[in-house]
Structure 1
Amino acid sequence: MNALQTFSNLLQQTAFVSMTWGNILMIFVAFIFLYLAIAKGFEPLLLVPIAFGMLLVNIYPDIMLEPEKSISGTGGLLWYFFHLDEWSILPSLIFMGVGAQTDFSPLIANPITFLLGAAAQFGIYSAYFMAIFMGFNGAAAAAISIIGGADGPTSIFLCNKLGQTSLLGPIAVAAYSYMSLVPIIQPPIMKALTTEEERKVKMPTLRPVSKLERILFPIVVTVVVCVLLPTTAPLVGMLMLGNLFKECGVVKQLTETASNAMMYIVVIMLGTSVGGATSAEAFLNVDTLKIVALGLIAFAFGTAAGVVIGKLMYVLSGKKINPLIGSAGVSAVPMAARVSQKVAAETDPTNFLLMQAMGPNVAGVIGTAVAAGTFMAVYGVK
């Protein structure tokens, strides 16, 4: 074998031979995501693994290779991670970790904010009908519309349950991207729909919540929601189990594991596998553009609906409720609540809305899971 042939053989093994312009474009998108995560701090725990998975699959597509197509009979690394998404294991474990990290006291202390969490789901249902109008079938429309809840795990969960795995990459990336871009997308909508007087409203301090209330809350929510919509049990059940770990006070080791070590291991696998689903051939098509547009519309409509209902509550409460907390009804916890606080503080630096905004924020997590369960019931998924 001469030197030229050796060089030719080595060249054939590089990624340059099979790389397309689509792969190069997706690599560029991965770089943008890495920049937003690292330089701008937009949800780095999510965007860094997603972007790196996107980078890997567009350099080395076989990292998502199915075992049936492999000579050795073994699949690519991210294919196994991806299957944990398809089996709903990773999204459910993420919900357990979120529950172990979340304080539901603001919602328990002010249960009327459940209405704001429910109102923010309007974006999901509006996007559902728009998706059908744009040519998607009912199940695909439902899977796409859940992006409006700004809840990545629920989007992945529903997409798989409805058998729309071919759309998983665009849906998951759109959902996580909009979660990351909450500080950019929401403020203009919030300011456009509220007056300076409304944004200046200072809400009273929330009442103390007893330990008994905090323990009973996850149990009662699980029973009520899962009896009405049993298909939500993997999400709502794990969310509330994680919260029960936190609030019962007798399983500190489980709380620590669920909210830290397990949570971050799952985030790594889920993020890289979502990125791995964004190969150029799967991602670069007209449907992807429609999904990204519909996701943005759903998220914007959800934010607007929450603020509008917040304005109604402002009037009915005698100007005691700040409408800005309505925007926190989307599921991006706690980012959406922080944005409510930030916009309020821009109008009045002494206004502190964070705890009041956490009520609709955590209600939105439950609301999005309920919306997913409703779609599964409609399409006969058990």
Structure 2
Amino acid sequence: MSTIDEVPLPEATFGERVTRLLGVVAGDPTARAELDMARVIDELKALGAEPIEDLTPEEARSQPSPADAVSSLMARYGISDPDEEVRTRELRYPGADGELAARLYTPAGVASGPLPLVVYYPGGGWVLSDLDDYDASARAIASRTGALVLAVETRRAPEHKFPAAHDDAVAAYRWALEKAEELGASPGQIAVAGESAGGNLAINVAIAARDREMTPPVHLTLIYPLAGVDLTTPSFRTNEFARPVNKAMIGWYLGHALLGVDQKEDPRLDLVGHADLSGLPPITLLTAEIDPLRSEGHELADKLRSSGVAVNAVDFEGVSHGFFGMGAIVRHARSAQELVASDLRSAFGFEERGARAGRAL
């Protein structure tokens, strides 16, 4: 097995070129995807994944995921996991209402002694959140930063409605602070990261740390975070029928996660409309072109800056929501991973901040 750099993907076939041309004519958002990203989307469909908005939560949890599509392509092209040497250990932590699963990632070849720690919250719209589906993201962060990564699960909707996941996320961060030394981490070098709905959890953890007088994280990484509840933004219109995440799917997530529409006014959900974002640590914020959440990510960056928060906001064109953990196949994912790692390493005092990729906002 080899890496993607050693075994580059083949050029577009005639069928792929025709499909992309027809997609452009039909206004399919996915037609704007880079070839490597498009192949992941097509592979997910080939594996039998159905539109999540047409499924029950149980059905959605059992069907193939984007991570499965990446694994399938890796096997087809003979590509190995670039971060396979990262070691993992399964843990349990006390959530807000009982124990929950966590996984500690330790990078290979690190020096002995306390390491920085990144508390990472996976995506899944608070309904599909799963450590395995976001394993590649956590591995990449650990491998490229030289830091420990603690990935945590939270309770899932609809079995546990909002704000269950948010309460668990805060409990996980508090536990990480208390157990840092036992985990092999330095208590003064803890960052928080999250992807999609997990990005929403991550920034809410920092807000809770500010308001509850907990030790704040030294840095936040927000990867295409869910930051609002307005499904009429420009990116929701442009990417209404995008894949693997579209407008109907976001509505499906919110419908299962919330007790009622009045909860949309909660500042933990409507960050761009109702949250106080002042006094937060420096933030790296990534958005993707083919993503309904793109506009609210840009709005979040603007509001953070107006609140006095330092933000490195970068938009990646030609990729879809969920691309970050696809570094084994998608080149922009590797660039995004390096960007996140650079900013985290700077926050930990390892190197100068300032690596850039994508389009700075």
Query: Larger Cα Rg: Structure 1 or Structure 2?
Result: 1
Same fold by TM (over 0.5)?
Answer: no
The TM-score normalised by the length of structure 2 is 0.26
Considering Cα pairs closer than 8 Å and 6+ residues apart, tell me whether 1 or 2 has the greater RCO. Answer: 1
Structure (1 or 2) with the greater strand fraction: 2
Structure (1 or 2) with the greater helix fraction: 1
